Structure 1
């Protein structure tokens, strides 16, 4: 009797990511994922009964990987003030996950149609905002810095503008500077 081939779910999700990166979210089909992974459509259907289930799994996989990556940067900051936002800025400086972010954004079309697919991303954003506010010397500045970093990444991900590397580094340094009060009066105002 022939042994049943074991299909790695992670390999399937990575194949789905490659399909989205290459062809776009609208061309993500169970057939395309099967072809990319070198498996049968039945194997994909066994784990993901519908295209929506596959999209949800890809989004959750990407979200979990990005959250783990960001937490590693935050942990490097230790217990110092502003650790959460400083870690996120450092992660943006490395920007080693542009591929994953672009795939996730391409799948955003699916997010608009299905509330349950938004949950993983909403939860991770909410936890980062809470961590930033809890660890920031000036929570409002930390929140503004978070919005600036995320805005920078979105503009790049949508291909709306590509910053020259030196300029991008200066922008991230300017965002980091938001966390430092410049005058004694400003320090007093921020404490409110």
Structure 2
């Protein structure tokens, strides 16, 4: 009697991303993912009971990968002022355009229709902003730099804007320069974003 085949979760999630890129999140089916992964539909259903659960797993994996990159970059930098923001700049500088546009558009579309997915992203960004603000001496400059960095990344991921590598590196240096610029330090106030209602 042969042993049951072990299914690699990343194989299923890679297949799901490929189906999302090809067909869109709205047309993603467990059948299509099973075919793309070369496994049975029952194997997909065993781990992901629904299309929504599978899309959530794809997004959670992307978030987890990003958080691990940020953790390693922060660890590499050690301690100091703006360490979390500098780590984020390094990660985004090194990992330009790592999410195909079709996948990005379709995952954003899925998030727009799912309050739980939006809540996951709200929590993720809130925690990241708290870490950035905690290690910053000039919270205003840190917020401006964070917004500039995320704006660049968003425009690139969605394919709206592309810069040649040398210009992009310059932009990243300029964003990092925002941290040390003399943006006026005003009296302490809460710069945390307000909760987003889904």
**Number of the residue aligned with 2:164:** 164
**Number of the residue aligned with 2:39:** 39
TM-score, length basis structure 1: 0.88
**Number of the residue aligned with 2:66:** 66
**Structural RMSD (CA):** 2.0
SS of corresponding position for 1:178: helix
> Partners of 1:145 and 1:104 in 2: how far apart?
23
> Partners of 1:151 and 1:70 in 2: how far apart?
18
| Contact 2:145-2:179 at 8 Å conserved across structures | yes
Please state how far the C-alpha of 1:58 moved relative to its aligned partner: 1.1
Higher helix proportion (structure 1 or 2): 1
> Partners of 1:42 and 1:140 in 2: how far apart?
51
Please state how far the C-alpha of 1:119 moved relative to its aligned partner: 2.8
Q: Structure 1 residue 85 and structure 2 residue 85: aligned?
A: yes
Q: Structure 1 residue 52 and structure 2 residue 52: aligned?
A: yes
Please state how far the C-alpha of 1:147 moved relative to its aligned partner: 0.8
How many residue pairs are counted as aligned between the two chains? Answer: 187
Distance 1:134 1:100, change over 3 A: farther
> Partners of 1:99 and 1:141 in 2: how far apart?
28
**Number of the residue aligned with 1:114:** 114
1:190 to 177, 185, 192: 185
1:170-185 mapped onto 2 (5 Å cutoff): 170-182=170-182
SS of corresponding position for 1:190: coil
TM-score, length basis structure 2: 0.86
**Number of the residue aligned with 1:147:** 147
> Partners of 1:87 and 1:72 in 2: how far apart?
8
